[in-house]
């Protein structure tokens, strides 16, 4: 569990002036990683670090020999088209590069002269998925989401008895994960109309989003070994925003007995920026389990996890309909919550995933599951916000929504803020629904 160090000092300012604005997602205390190139170019994709409205091009850093020692080796490993080689190096290398970048980007640093030519404006780039994602697992860590969705699918039996014992998850589809900007045709499939005995085939009528965090595995484990809960976070590189698009009508018909399949595997969208666990250290909070609930089995229990295992990451979802886009109106906020409400922590997800000897690999992605807070207004899906499609939401322009319509774009944002710490952000993840293929 990362301790606070000089890179978290809220007083640090950068010679990149845009990084010093109070509302900036990417101040010098953040330093998240992405893979990018100049938009529309044939350049090779390479790793970069956000600072204000700029990107430190790590391939240029390597070519110019800006750093020495472990930080130089780390920058070199992050200068290719995926961050997997960098992720594989582990926490000491990640920290060494973060510290070197923090020092070089500080106001007054003599490194400004050599680093300034390595900056690329964010407004001029395009991003790609930052790692080769070998495997993707989606968890279900919000008990508020699990209970409200369970009530819609099984009114008499909302929360199944395993929920409070097992960090529930399913193995998802890695090939359809794309970076922010993804668009996809409305999925088509089998659904069972209310009261019908046989299914119909056609476009989903209940297309939804899920507000989630993605967890990128840094270092993996050998097959047959396990990652203990107190080692788990050392294996985690960082977090992104994740939209787990979900076709609720397909899901309701197919999910028993083996879980989601075509209702989820058509698209998943992630933010380009990965915020490291080290950057998130100031926003750790206590993790608690209600006294009346089952306490975790020993392999999911740890003092460190109880003391600091949760993270206060604010999450917000907004919608931009085609009509709003044409009128130049800003996306409308739908809900806001925090990851601190999760029933299971990242360390528990990693420990559980590997306790049977399953091998995680660098670049594997874990979804947190839909993060819904304790009140109905904090729900992370339309399924919950509209009570199963029964209560439409009225948008500021007068349009209504139960589920997503063609042309709708969903925007998710994340950030951390508290007194005494610099505010850091995740940027955003945007994805858009296209008409179904005929
Ligand atoms: Mn999900």
Q: Sheet harboring 46-51: ordered strands across?
A: 119-121, 54-57, 46-51, 33-38, 125-128
Residues with CB under 5 A from ligand 1 (ion): 138, 210, 244
Query: pLDDT digits over 273-282, tens only?
Result: 999 999 999 9
Distance (angstroms) between ligand 1 centre and the Cα of 264 equals 8
| Architecture per CATH, 136-434 | Alpha-Beta Complex (3.90)
Distance (angstroms) between ligand 1 centre and the Cα of 139 equals 7
Distance (angstroms) between ligand 1 centre and the Cα of 382 equals 13
On the question of a common fold for 6-128 and 136-434, the answer reads no
Contact 167, 142 (CB under 8 A): no
Q: Which CATH number fits domain 6-128: 1.20.950.20, 3.90.950.20, 2.30.30.230, 3.10.180.10?
A: 2.30.30.230
Distance (angstroms) between ligand 1 centre and the Cα of 255 equals 13
Domain ranges within the chain, ordered by starting residue: 6-128, 136-434
Give the separation between CA 148 and CA 143, rounded to whole angstroms. Answer: 8
Residues 6+ apart with CB under 8 A from 152: 383, 387, 388
Residues 6+ apart with CB under 8 A from 391: 402
Catalytic position from the list 8, 132, 144, 145 = 145
Give the separation between CA 13 and CA 120, rounded to whole angstroms. Answer: 19
Distance (angstroms) between ligand 1 centre and the Cα of 321 equals 22
Q: What is the per-residue pLDDT for 153?
A: 81
Distance (angstroms) between ligand 1 centre and the Cα of 244 equals 5
Q: Is 145 a catalytic residue?
A: yes
Mean pLDDT split into 10-residue runs, the chain, 438 residues = 89 98 97 98 98 98 96 98 98 98 98 97 98 98 96 89 97 98 98 96 98 98 98 98 98 94 98 98 98 98 98 98 98 98 98 98 98 97 97 98 98 98 98 96
Query: pLDDT digits over 325-375, tens only?
Result: 999 999 999 999 999 999 999 999 999 999 999 999 999 999 999 999 999
Considering only CA atoms, which of 44, 23, 19, 47 is closest in space to residue 33? 47
Give the separation between CA 99 and CA 8, rounded to whole angstroms. Answer: 10
Distance (angstroms) between ligand 1 centre and the Cα of 72 equals 37
Distance (angstroms) between ligand 1 centre and the Cα of 266 equals 13
Distance (angstroms) between ligand 1 centre and the Cα of 212 equals 7
């Amino acid at each position: 569990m990362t301790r606070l160090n000089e890179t978290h000092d809220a007083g640090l300012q950068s010679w990149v002036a845009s990084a010093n604005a109070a509302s900036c997602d990417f101040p010098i205390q953040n330093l998240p990683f992405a893979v990018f190139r100049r938009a529309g170019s044939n350049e090779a994709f390479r790793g970069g670090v956000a600072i204000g409205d700029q990107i430190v091009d790590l391939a240029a850093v390597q070519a110019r020999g800006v750093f020495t020692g472990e930080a130089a080796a780390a920058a070199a490993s992050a200068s290719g088209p995926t961050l997997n080689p960098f992720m594989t190096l582990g926490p000491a290398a990640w920290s060494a590069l973060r510290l070197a970048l923090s020092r070089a980007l500080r106001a007054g640093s003599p490194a400004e002269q050599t680093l300034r030519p390595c900056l690329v404006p964010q407004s001029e780039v395009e991003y790609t998925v930052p790692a080769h994602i070998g495997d993707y697992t989606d968890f279900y860590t919000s008990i508020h989401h699990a209970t409200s969705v369970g009530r819609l699918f099984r009114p008499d039996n909302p929360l199944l008895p395993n929920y409070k014992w097992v960090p529930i998850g399913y193995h998802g589809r890695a090939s359809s994960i794309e970076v922010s900007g993804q668009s996809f045709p409305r999925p088509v499939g089998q659904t069972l109309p209310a009261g019908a005995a046989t299914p119909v085939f056609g476009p989903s009528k209940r297309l939804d989003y899920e507000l989630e965090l993605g967890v990128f595995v840094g270092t993996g484990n050998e097959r047959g070994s396990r990652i203990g809960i107190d080692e788990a976070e050392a294996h985690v590189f960082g977090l992104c925003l994740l939209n787990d698009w979900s076709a609720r009508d397909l899901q309701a018909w197919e999910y028993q007995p083996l879980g989601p399949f075509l209702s989820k595997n058509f698209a998943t969208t992630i933010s380009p920026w990965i915020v490291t666990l080290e950057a998130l250290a100031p926003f750790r909070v206590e993790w608690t389990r209600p006294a009346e609930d089952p306490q975790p089995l020993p392999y999911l229990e740890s003092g460190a996890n109880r003391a600091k295992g949760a993270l206060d990451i604010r999450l917000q979802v907004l919608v931009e309909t085609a009509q709003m886009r044409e009128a130049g109106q800003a996306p409308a906020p739908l809900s806001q919550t925090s990851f601190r409400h999760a029933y299971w922590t990242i360390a528990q997800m990693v420990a559980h995933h590997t306790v049977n000897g399953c091998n995680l690999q660098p670049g594997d992605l874990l979804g947190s599951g839909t993060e819904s807070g304790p009140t109905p207004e904090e729900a992370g899906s339309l399924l919950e916000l509209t009570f199963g499609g029964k209560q439409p939401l009225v948008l500021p322009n007068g349009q209504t929504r139960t589920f997503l319509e063609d042309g709708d774009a969903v925007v998710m944002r994340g950030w951390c803020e508290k007194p005494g710490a610099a505010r850091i952000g995740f940027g955003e993840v945007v994805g858009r629904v296209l008409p179904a293929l005929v």
